[in-house]
Amino acid sequence: MESYTLQPKRIKEGRLFRGLTQESLADAISVTKQAVSQYETGVLTPNLEVITRIADILDFPQQYFSKPYQNEILTPVFFRKRKTTTKKLMELFQIYIGWMADIYAYIEQYIHLPELSLPTNERVGYTRKEISDIAKSVRRHWGLGDGPISNLALLLENNGILISKVGLNAKKADACSVFFTAPGTAKRPMIFLTSGTSAVRSRRDLAHELGHQVLHSWMDKDQFEEHQDTIEEEAEMFASYFLMPEQAMQRESYAVKSLDALLLMKARWGASAQSILYHLAGSDCITESTATRLKTSLYRKGWRTNEPGDENIPQERPELIKDAVTVMVENNVKTGVEILDDLSMPPEEAAALCGVRETFFQPVKSARPSLRLVK
């Protein structure tokens, strides 16, 4: 009989990820709710038969429940829309973060990822001018001028930042990020985006989380809790100045007299018309009367929730992790099956985090031999 060392928290993770209560899992595996609670806290150790039933019900690989915790997240997790993010969504994000940390640590054993190149600051309470200057300095550090950024996801990945999209409800949580530190791996930010959002919203989420990593990655969890309202405002301001530099906005704002002009700027800058309008107003690039008139028109048209032109801006997809696992397979370092077995994750979720099709982790079908008659 195969032996295993149970990690009790893994049972809770699997249950939460599948959206089950302790009672519903208990019913499914024919034990009491109290037994499930004791399994998850380590008070009671389930036998291998029960673990097998749990794995089947949750549709997780059995080895997941004995997988050691090797990459503990010690730094704060920056949630966009933190006040409206439910506890359940935060728990799901934490699970995804743990999985991505495992994927990253695993890949680094075989692949040299781009080194992190990110200037950071260590304070709280920035002025608008300071944030504008910091956003400009990050652009210059990465060799950018003041023009539009064609592919923000690619820019961040090229500078050593990990990005992944997860299948969570974007209405309650836009994105989150964490500065990952663990022995044996290079320190780097990880940004998690939600699926089902427009391209301009994903770009804004990326820029917002980049702001946290530039301005606030020095914080510990206590400092984060103390200043969370302030740092959200600062990250949002950074996103505006990074995507739409102040000098460029001053040059182009003279033409902003209508919503049509905002839509033209949206197509050029890859940002929502609403965010452009608020940025122009906050930076004193347009008059207060113009801003008020355009805001009123924008609200009347219902653009706060659904703007025209979103469909014309292409989605930016993370490629770095996808490229890394593909290189491993193409160079016969590992097969897709071996990678999934080493990661001990559900195949659908591993594929989503790595940005590959689920078939990537399935066995390669052997071609039937070609037969010929003997002449």
Each residue's pLDDT tens digit, 280-303: 999 999 999 999 999 999 999 999
Q: Report yes or no: 44 and 87 within 8 Å, Cβ to Cβ.
A: no
CATH 1.10.260.40 segments of the chain: 8-66
pLDDT at position 127 over 60:
yes
Q: Which fold has domain 8-66?
A: 434 Repressor (Amino-terminal Domain) (1.10.260)
CA-based torsion, 301, 303, 306, 307: positive or negative = positive
Q: What is the mean pLDDT of residues 157-173?
A: 81
pLDDT at position 278 over 80:
yes
CATH 1.10.10.2910 segments of the chain: 77-312
Q: What is the pLDDT of residue 358?
A: 85
Confidence class for position 216, pLDDT limits 50, 70, 90: very high
Q: What is the pLDDT of residue 71?
A: 77
Measured CA to CA in angstroms, residue 66 lies from 3, 63, 101, 345, 361 at distances of 10, 5, 17, 12, 21
Residue 16 burial (10 A CB sphere; 0-12, 13-18, 19+): middle
| Gap between the Cα atoms of 137 and 157, Å rounded | 18
| Gap between the Cα atoms of 82 and 173, Å rounded | 7
Q: What is the mean pLDDT of residues 248-258?
A: 93
pTM of the full structure: 0.90
Q: What is the pLDDT of residue 4?
A: 58
- Only one residue has tokens 């890859």, namely 270
The CATH class, in words, for 77-312 is: mainly alpha
Confidence class for position 1, pLDDT limits 50, 70, 90: very low
